Amino acid sequence: MMLTHRSSSHQYGEARLELQLKATHQLANLHDDHVTVRMSRDRYDLFRSADVTIHRIVVAQWQPENPADWLQARPAGNLLRGPLHWVSLAGRPASDSEQVTISVPRANVFDDLALCEIMERIGQGGAP
């Protein structure tokens, strides 16, 4: 998913952010301080690059196995239950594994406020 935000306060007028959305229902992937998800090595290599023109983050969610326990479709909009968490992989080491396990800190809640803060940092020339 690609997000853009235009603002006169941004150094270059626009901030861009690419997200890889991941979800898991495995209880073994839910820990007190992090959630683990897996990515292909090719995707991991793209997201770990420190030399980027577009910043990238992984957004992960642990969810119950039954979709009715975490998702409701309504005429006014969809309701998604359960927090999302994010992590930047920029600068991470290479991996020889075909599937790479990513640890996403539960302290990094991904919500509207976090997204605004991330886009502001990117807009000012910083990293997520």
Alpha carbon distance 35, 86 (integer Å): 10
The pLDDT, as a whole number, for residue 65 is 83
Give the residue numbers spanning the domain of 13.
2-123
Distance separating alpha carbons of residues 51 and 57, to the nearest angstrom = 14
> What per-residue confidence (pLDDT) applies to 105?
97
Structure tokens at 29: 């992937």
Instruction: Provide the pLDDT for residue 55.
Output: 94
Question: Which segments of 1-128 does DSSP mark as H helices, in order?
Answer: 41-48, 112-123
Cβ neighbours around 41 below 10 Å, total: 15
Residue 109 lies in a domain: yes
Residue 91, domain member (yes or no): yes
The answer to whether residue 98 is domain-embedded is yes
Residues of the chain with pLDDT under 50: none
CA triplet 114, 45, 98: central angle to 5 degrees? 115
Query: For the whole model, what pTM was predicted?
Result: 0.88
Quote the pLDDT of residue 90. 95
**Structural domains counted in the chain:** 1
* Residue 128 placed within a domain: no
pLDDT for residue 127 = 92
